[in-house]
Amino acid sequence: MSDTDLIGALRVLEREALAAVSGATDEAALETVRVTYLGRTEGSISKVLRGLGALPTGARPAVGQEANRVKIAVSEALKVRGLALAPQTRGSAEDLTLPSRGPWRGGLHPITQAVDEIWHIFRDMGFARARGPEADTEWYNFEALNTPLDHPAADEQDTLYLVDSVLLRSHTSPVQVRTMEAYEPPIRIIAPGWVYRRDTYDATHTPAFMQIEGLVVDEGVSFVDFKATLAEFARRYWGPDTRVRFRPSFFPFTEPSAEVDVKRVITKPDGTRVETDWLEVMGAGMVDPAVLENVGYDSERYTGWAFGMGPARIAMLKHGVDDLRTFFENDMRFLAQFSS
């Protein structure tokens, strides 16, 4: 048979099968219809599907697609008719005294909650919210941030390139550059957003994750201002007894650079108060004058500080979650604990 004949034959089979399905008046009759058309060995539709291999290669896709469609249509009809013919026992088992299940209540994802809490603390201190594109150029992601393209971070091993010099941003720091290009100082912004890296999905890495960038630029902004603001943030977020420590570090876009650690005081179930270990929560530093010059700011007149932190990590610390993947698996038993 040619492929058009076969397709025609399939449609005839489909019509017959559907008529037989609606004609079946009990479950036994319906089972006979199922075996006749879809039975594994003798079913007439199954036979066509099995015969596909013998067709010339060119004819296979069209016939295969049609045979599959017919198979699904007939299976669905069998299922629906099966439900209608099934003995109606469940209705009588209804127990009207059972309490209702209550409405299903959604909630914000724990990472979204962390982002909101963090952003709101900075908002109360006078910061505005900024955003930038997730697909950006090498210029914004690296070069404008004083990071040469031969820096390891710019390597294709670490960064997801789209085409040529366009990539998925590997951090939220490009929003610093875009904001400074668009506005004159004073600048005081918080920029939460998704970032992407070529990382293997494991307990502490995901190829897509959230970051929150902060940037302040003005005349007379100093390291003291930076330390005081971050210490105030830490006390508001982790509690009034939280201590903050700045460790020297290196980022191409800040000079000097620091890693910021916090030590919290937590109250144990028996009421005793204990200090936690030092926990690293962000990278930060004074904006490198080269970055200010790249956006056309006068680096003699303006100074600034910046930070970048990972809210997922912060949410992990806060809720005692030890595997990052739990946040992304959408298991309702986990997520429901965070809805209020």
The residue with its CB nearest to ligand DAH is 308
**Is residue 307 at the binding interface for ligand DAH, with CB under 6 A as the rule?**
yes
Q: C-beta of 112: minimal distance to ligand DAH in Å?
A: 20
* Residue among 285, 302, 313, 324 that touches ligand DAH (CB under 6 A): 285
DSSP states of 145-160: GT--TTSGGGSTTTS-
Contact between 285 and 255 (Cβ < 8 Å)? yes
Q: Which residues of 221-252 are buried (b: 16+ CB within 10 A; e: fewer)?
A: beeebbbebbbebbbbbbeeebebebeeeebb
Q: Which is nearer to ligand DAH, 229 or 254 (CB)?
A: 254
Residues 6+ apart with CB under 8 A from 3: 55, 59, 62, 63
Q: Hunting for tokens 């290669």 — which residue is that?
A: 57
**Which of these segments, 52-60, 81-89, 183-191, 280-288, binds ligand DAH (CB under 6 A)?**
280-288
Residues 164-183 that bind ligand DAH (CB under 6 A): 171, 173
Interacting stretch for ligand DAH, rule CB under 6 A, among 49-57, 95-103, 158-166, 281-289?
Answer: 281-289
Q: Of 48-56, 81-89, 160-168, 301-309, which part binds ligand DAH (CB under 6 A)?
A: 301-309
Q: How many CB atoms lie within 10 A of CB 159?
A: 19
- Is 306 near ligand DAH (CB under 6 A)? yes
- Nearest approach, Cβ of residue 76 and ligand DAH (Å): 50
CA 132 to CA 174: how far, in whole Å?
A: 8
The residues near 175 (Cβ < 8 Å, ≥ 6 apart) are 130, 131, 132, 189, 191, 193, 213, 215
Is residue 213 a contact residue for ligand DAH (CB under 6 A)?
Answer: yes
Contact between 252 and 146 under an 8 Å Cβ cutoff? The reply is yes
For ligand DAH, the closer of residues 38 and 168 by Cβ is: 168
Instruction: Please say whether the beta carbons of 284 and 253 come within 8 A.
Output: no
Considering the complex, state which of residue 185 and residue 308 has its C-beta at the smaller distance from ligand DAH: 308
Which of the ranges 42-50, 80-88, 261-269, 278-286 carries the binding residues for ligand DAH, by CB under 6 A? 278-286
- The site for ligand DAH (CB under 6 A) is made up of 171, 173, 213, 251, 254, 283-285, 306-308
